[in-house]
Structure 1
Amino acid sequence: QMPDEAIAHFAEVTVKEVENFKKKLAFHPDFKMVDTCAAEFEAHTPYYYSTYGAEDEVKPQGKGSVVVFGSGPIRIGQGIEFDYCSVHASWALKKAGKKSIVINNNPETVSTDFDTSDSLYFEPLTEQDVMEVIEKEKPEGVICQFGGQTAINLATPMAKRGVRIIGSSNESIDMAEDRERFDTLCGQLGIPRPKGCLVESVEEAMQKTAELEYPLIVRPSYVLGGRAMQIVYDQAELRQYLKEAVVASHEHPVLIDQYMVGREVEIDAISDGVDVCIPGIMEQIERSGVHSGDSIAVYPPQHLSPEVIDTLTKYTKDIACAMNVKGLVNIQFIVVGGKVYVIEVNPRASRTVPFMSKITGINMVEYATRVALGEPLHTLGLPLGLVPPKNYVAIKAPVFSFSKLGLVEIKLGPEMKSTGEVMGIGHTYQEALYKAVVAANLMVPAGANVLITVSDRDKPETAELAKGFVDLGYHLICTSGTGSYFQSLGIPVEIIKKIHEKGENCEKYLKSGKVDMVLNTISYGSQIEQEGYDLRRIAVELAIPCITSLDTAKEVLRVMASTGGAEHHVEAIQDYVKE
């Protein structure tokens, strides 16, 4: 309890040595500086890392500083999109006269460039580590909504420690993440949701799902990228999921929803808790059940009625204002038979924010940062409500790295698997789709060989696709079940053997270069599933385009059909926005 000077006097050491010793006892780190100017002259843009038992080199930013949480190491489901958001938030803070402090520990992103923020801490995004920085810098507050799920998960521990959350409060965030609270909110607003429940044990799951119809979609709460999300078709699969994939508990409840087949729609909006600006609406080509990050998204929507669009706009404003969102909000809907249901709400930036910002010319992160700092939305010069769509079409298509990720199952489902995306933009839907499909490497030359093998439930729908391929001059190769069905409808096909059968089978055809594209949907049963997996893996490793979604196949066929004589203009996105 003695003053440092007194301890130093009696111990015959310096005051600095006393301070360092106290830090060691309290297990507080010191922060060392990485000199970005190599000692040639004073570094005005250094970054810091923590260590123990060393002299502290931090120069706190002091009054008027704000901390931005990054998204941490890039992984599937959370990547460069959130780095984009962190960078633009840092720049927006500087424009607003604030000093930006970024905490992120990813060496491969722009947010960790030395000149992006006023201070950079290369620290893990854990409660203990970020609190050490906050105690050192003493900022006005922290922004959690631009670093994906990693950053938003820090909102609750920060609020409990008395740190000011700038933008959407911890209360707003919890209202979206807590299933029971969100269901209650939707009930109060009169917004329909798919039937579902929240469970904390296997026994509770069996009891509550007795009233639901299979298939069900199950996922853990507080995750990003659909991690560990799965569609189950009976009680046995549900029980197996809850025992092997995810262990339900009070701290980590599992969400279970009735799986609905419909058209998924995604909206990113800016809200100040009173007004809402919706730069645009995206509809997904793949039907529900495929993660939004793996779906082809279209702006503006091509298949939604004006009534549905009005409902989507109203629901977005109602939800954002009821949750008192201040900044960005992402809402995912499903449209079934003209009726709109809300699937989930994320009071943070989503991976589609950079896409929407670029194609609409509205820098969503900058405006959201200004709103988070306290500026009303109506003073920012943005239109309120839904912004009228542009006179061009933009399409976001996923890109995968399956050839570099050995043993990974490539079939698309509720868990995100794409590692990037491309954008096609054109004056028509066909032109934008053509550019996106070409960039995603899904195009095959005219007259190519297409191998089709699909499940029994998909054969009638696939038959229409097969006719389209034949009409365009493509040669179809099928396994016995699919081929026999097509032949019964008068569709000409070449039938070959399955992988496990001897002779001219699928594997030999693929490896001999006789196949240019594979269309395969999932059948259930251990032998059939293994065959499908082997077929898809061989195709991927041979760099043969492999499609597992009939919706994607339909759009690829549409592109192939529209390429004859079509002119496609190459133009910079900035020129489209200017037009």
Structure 2
Amino acid sequence: MSKFEWVRRVLVLGSGSLKIGECGEFDYSGSQALKALKEEGIETVLVNPNIATIQTDPKMADKVYLVPVVAEFVEKIIDRERPDGILLGFGGQTALNCGFELYRSGVLSKYNVKVLGTSIESINITSNRELFKETMSRNGIPMPRSKAAWSVKDALEAAEDLGYPVIVRVAYNLGGRGGGVAYNAYELDEIVRRGIANSLIGQVLIEEYIGWWKQIEYEVMRDYDDNCITVCNMENMLGMRVHTGDNIVIAPSQTLNNREYHLLRDASIKAVRACGIVGECNVQLALDPTSEKYYVIEINPRLSRSSALASKATGYPIAYMAAKLAIGYTLPELLNRVTNITTACFEPSLDYVVVKVPRWDLSKFEMADRRLRTQMKSVGEVMAIGRCFEEAIQKAVRMLDLGFNGLTIDVSKSSIEVIEHELSNPTDEIIFTIIKALKMGLSVERISRLTWIDPWFIWKLKNIVDIEGKLREIKDLDSVEAIKAIREAKRLGFSDKQIGEIIGLSELEVRG
């Protein structure tokens, strides 16, 4: 049986229909949770109207209700099934919001249903921007200057105190929906009205803008006994100016030194303990690229896109372990079923690079704003693994199914003025824009200043451009220089087809 012997039947809330910010990652996490509970002999009841998922298969849960994940319907299911506990952390923001409504309306106490894992109080602390700010301040954890607002008037007053530009973050929301960056009062008025309408509690946070800072994430696990580990840390290449769902994410981080890594790791663990998280969560931090100054931005008290990425990147079954922790197990008690050697208290260490690149479909909408900002627009993502960043990013570009064999593109129709504008205002084609800029002779330093991307990433992309240039200069394929160039190209992630197109051979000829 489970650690909590009183847990015999558990209600699991899914994320409902597929939408931006809530896609396959929650099917994965929910399926893993159901698997973990079934191993303990616990009866599971799933609420999820999306029939196009693995978790709604009759083999996964004992009972499946294909109804909307809203309090009205879930209350009827609770009345009928009388579960001992409910899991809220495996269905995205939809499940968290539903659980909060059930708590606020007294349904959970009426039927004596216990929230397993992260408590409602902790969910409220992390989701309510004002409470989160107060909790971080009370525990000595730095945050950007900010003020909570419940109306446009409050927001305008806060922005006057903070100074423009400001970023608007919406409480109890997902994917940055309703938020944005305001450079003046007119823009702020529009964003705040939209943000309050999208907030479950009608609250937004007006925060100082630090778009040029690095955006770092840590996936953290914590049990009821306060054992706490970080499973993975990730770096967002495009920094704080772009939502993590639209960012190119690299695991592990590539531009942090050892001191910075541990500084942010300690801050993440401290923040998680301050909020009382049990199970898994994602901590987002901002790091000043010119100093060691950092801020904790937010904590997602649930499984997320980043959790799925971290789990696949490290081989650590995050969702499975989080479900076990929710029913009372501790990290030292659990065996990692992937390694079958280490316990869940063991922090993975990577000797390879994992890159996540988002997939957008903005070209289908003629009037769509293709600029990447703090509101998520991507509809999916790909993940690639390589021995170096260059190899992984080229693999990822091929998997996007956009017709590219890698980062070898034509620049004949580009102009310096247009390229510099696109670098300053990144779109869904930012990675290709950087390659074009390098081919047109812009320096790494110039590109870094325009994009606010760490120079390390630009240098790595320049390595790809440089080796392409060497391949095009090959005259004798049997020469030592040609063999060295092709070997280096393979190390940097060039495919046989990609090399063949450059040197004038077929894919099979290159392979031979």
Q: TM-score, normalised by structure 1?
A: 0.69
Q: 208, 211, 215: which is aligned to 2:158?
A: 208
Name the residue aligned to 1:498: none
Match in the other structure for 2:114: 164
Is contact 1:285–1:298 with CA below 8 Å preserved after alignment?
yes
Instruction: Give the Cα–Cα distance (whole angstroms) in 2 for the partners of residues 411 and 456 of structure 1.
Output: 11
Determine if the alignment matches structure 1 residue 429 to structure 2 residue 389.
Answer: yes
SS in 2 for 1:87: helix
Q: Equivalent of 1:449, from 400, 412, 420?
A: 412
Higher RCO (C-alpha 8 Å, min separation 6): 2
Contact 1:286 1:296 in 2 (8 A): yes
From 251, 256, 263, give the equivalent of 2:214.
263
Change (3 A) 1:108 1:203: same
Local SS of the residue matching 1:288: helix
- The whole-number CA distance in structure 2 between the counterparts of 1:191 and 1:181 is 13
Pair 1:150–1:179, CA change in 2 (3 A): same
C-alpha distance in structure 2 between counterparts of 1:421 and 1:186, whole Å: 32
State how far apart, in whole Å, the 1-side matches of 2:25 and 2:194 are.
Answer: 31
Deviation at 1:448, TM superposition (A): 4.2
SS of residue matched to 1:391: coil
| Pairing of 1:66-215 with structure 2 (within 5 A) | 66-159=10-103, 160-161=106-107, 162=109, 163-215=113-165
1:327: which partner in 2?
279
> Residues 248 and 144 (structure 1 numbering): CA distance in 2 closer, same or farther, change over 3 Å?
closer
Deviation at 1:445, TM superposition (A): 3.9
Matches of 1:557 and 1:338, distance apart in 2 = 27
Distance 1:352 1:458, change over 3 A: closer
For 2:172 and 2:206, the matched residues in 1 are separated by: 14
Please give the per-residue CA displacement for 1:3-25, whole angstroms capped at 9, x wherever unaligned. xxxxxxxxxxxxxxxxxxxxxxx
CA RMSD of aligned residues (A): 3.2
Q: Tell me how far apart the structure 2 counterparts of residues 157 and 459 of structure 1 sit (CA, whole Å).
A: 42
SS of the residue 1:207 aligns to: helix
Q: Is the 8 A contact 1:194 1:343 kept in 2?
A: yes
* Paired position in structure 2 for 1:318: 270
CA contact (8 A) 2:331 2:345 kept: no
Q: How many residues align?
A: 438
Give the counterpart of 1:365 among 319, 337, 341: 319
Classify the secondary structure of the residue corresponding to 2:490.
coil
Check whether the contact 2:151–2:196 (CA below 8 A) recurs between aligned residues: no
Alignment-derived partner of residue 419 in structure 1: 379
Which whole-Å deviations, capped at 9, do the CAs of 1:371-429 have from their partners, x for residues lacking one?
Answer: 10001122224668782521111111111122334532221111111111111111122
Matched, 1:468 2:462: no
Mapped to 1, the partners of 2:249 and 2:123 lie a distance apart of 26
Aligned to 1:29: none
| Contact 1:393/1:428 (8 A) holds in 2 | yes
In 1: Cα distance, 2:420 partner to 2:390 partner: 29
Structure 1 distance, partners of 2:297, 2:234, is 15
Report the equivalent of 1:228.
Answer: 178
C-alpha distance in 2, partners of 1:387/1:158? 35
* Secondary structure, aligned partner of 1:423: strand
Aligned to 2:30, what secondary structure does the other structure show?
A: helix
Comparing 177-186 and 76-85, the one that deviates more: 177-186
Per the TM alignment, residue 355 of structure 1 is displaced from its structure 2 partner at its CA by 1.5
Distance 1:384 1:123, change over 3 A: closer
- Greater shift in the superposed pair: 272-281 or 557-566: 557-566
Matches within 5 A, 1:274-285: 274-285=226-237
Aligned 8 A contact 2:237 2:453 in 1? no
1:158: how far off?
A: 2.8
SS in 2 for 1:113: coil
Alignment CA distance shift 1:450-1:459 (3 Å) = farther
1:348 and 2:308 matched: no
Assess if the C-alpha contact under 8 Å between 1:100 and 1:117 holds in 2.
yes
Summarize the alignment of residues 560-575 of structure 1 with structure 2, pairs less than 5 Å apart. Answer: 560-562=465-467, 564=471, 565=486, 566-568=489-491
On the 8 A contact 1:127/1:158 being kept in 2, the answer is: yes
| Residues 199 and 248 in structure 1, CA contact (< 8 A), matched pair in contact too | no
Please tell me the residue identity of whatever aligns with 2:89. Q
Q: Aligned partners of 1:457, 1:446: CA distance in 2, in Å?
A: 16
CA separation in 1, counterparts of 2:391 and 2:153?
Answer: 52
Alignment check: 8 A CA contact 1:437 1:556 kept? no
Structure richer in helix, relative to its length = 2
Give distance in 2, aligned partners of 1:267 and 1:276: 12
Post-superposition Cα deviations, 1:165-209, rounded to whole Å, max 9, x if no partner, equal 111110110111122221121112211111111111122222222
Contact 1:278 1:385 in 2 (8 A): no
Query: More displaced, 454-463 or 424-433?
Result: 454-463
Stretch moving more, 368-377 or 406-415 = 406-415
Determine which of 334, 358, 362 is the counterpart of 1:398.
358
Contact kept? 1:430, 1:562, Cα under 8 Å: no
**Structure 2: which amino acid aligns with 1:193?**
M
Residues in 2 aligned to 1:459 and 1:227: alpha-carbon distance in whole angstroms: 23
Does 1:217 pair with 2:181?
Answer: no
Secondary structure at the counterpart of residue 125 of structure 2: helix
- Residue identity matched to 1:230: G
Question: Deviations for 1:226-269, whole angstroms, at most 9, x for unmatched residues?
Answer: 11121111122212333466459994011111110211011122
**Contact map agreement 1:276 1:384 (CA 8 A) in 2:** no
CA distance in 1, matches of 2:286, 2:267: 12
Which residue does 2:483 correspond to in 1?
none
Q: CA deviation at 1:450?
A: 5.0
Unaligned runs of 5+ in 2: 1-5, 336-341, 472-485, 494-512
Q: Percent identity?
A: 30
Q: Secondary structure at the match of 1:85?
A: helix
Equivalents in 2 of 1:138, 1:464: separation in Å?
A: 56
Q: Contact conserved, 2:16 with 2:68, CA < 8 A, in 1?
A: yes
For residue 76 of structure 1, give the secondary structure of its aligned residue in structure 2. coil
- 1:16-27 to structure 2, matched below 5 A, reads none
Q: CA-to-partner distance for each residue in 1:3-48, whole Å, 9 max, x for gaps? A: xxxxxxxxxxxxxxxxxxxxxxxxxxxxxxxxxxxxxxxxxxxxxx
1:78-124 CA-partner distances (Å, limit 9, x unpaired) = 11111111111011111122112111011211122222211111011
Alpha carbons 1:313, 1:385 under 8 Å: kept:
no
The letter for the 2-side match of 1:116 is M
